[in-house]
Structure 1
Amino acid sequence: MKKNIWIFIITLIVETGLTLFLASFFSVRFIELMFFAGVAYSTITIWFSSSGGAMTRHIDSQTSAMTGIQLKRAEFILRPNFVVFASIFFLIIGLIFFILLLTNVIPPA
């Protein structure tokens, strides 16, 4: 269990660091970029933590076309782990900050 918590914390630190770097690179505030970075991180981690799906079906179709052997189609299966949970947590926190920015609770400048 301790290992999983460390993976969660390290993932949050890496995502925060990357977002801070991108925010300084694009000269925007961290909280303005946090939601969009969270969407990207969540999409990437879910993409690589799952099996099956559109890309697998495309590759299976190409292989079947080249070999003439019909392959069994793999269904999309999400395999959540602590990296996915950390990315979704980062996304939710970013969404909260984004809503606060849009409602002017956090001043725009």
Structure 2
Amino acid sequence: MKKNIFILFITLAAETLITLLASRAFSIRFIEIMFFSGVLFTALTVWFSSSGGMVTKFMDSTASAMTGFLSKREEFSFRPNYAVLGSVIFLLIGLVFFILLLTNVIPPS
């Protein structure tokens, strides 16, 4: 259990650091891009946590075409883990800040 919580916090810290570096590079406030980077991070972690998707089907088809052997098709399955949970938490925090920015509760620069 401690390892899973550690993975969650490492994911949150890494996403925060990457977003902070991006905000510095583009001269944008951190909370202005937090939601959008959260969407990107969540999509990437879901993409790499699942199996049997489009890429798998393409690779199986390519291998079948090259070798002539048919392989068993793998059905799409999503495997939620603590990295995905960390990305979703980052996304939700970013969504709250984004809504507060749009409603001018957090004033513009």
Provide the TM-score with structure 1 as the length reference: 0.94
> What is the deviation of 1:83?
0.7
- State the 1:7 CA deviation: 1.3
Moved over 2 A (4+): none
Partner residue, 2:38 = 38
Distance (Å, rounded) in 1 between the aligned partners of 2:3 and 2:71 = 38
Match of 1:55 in 2: 55
Where structure 1 has 5 or more consecutive residues not aligned to the other structure, the ranges are: none
What letter matches 1:51 in structure 2?
S
Q: 2:105 matched to 1:105?
A: yes
The size of the alignment, in residue pairs, is: 109
Aligned-residue Cα RMSD (Å) equals 1.0
User: Counterparts of 2:41 and 2:91 in 1: how far apart (Å)?
Assistant: 8
TM norm structure 2: 0.94
* SS across alignment from 2:73: coil
* CA distance in structure 1 between the aligned counterparts of 2:6 and 2:59, rounded to whole angstroms: 35
Whichever residue aligns with residue 33 of structure 1, its letter is I
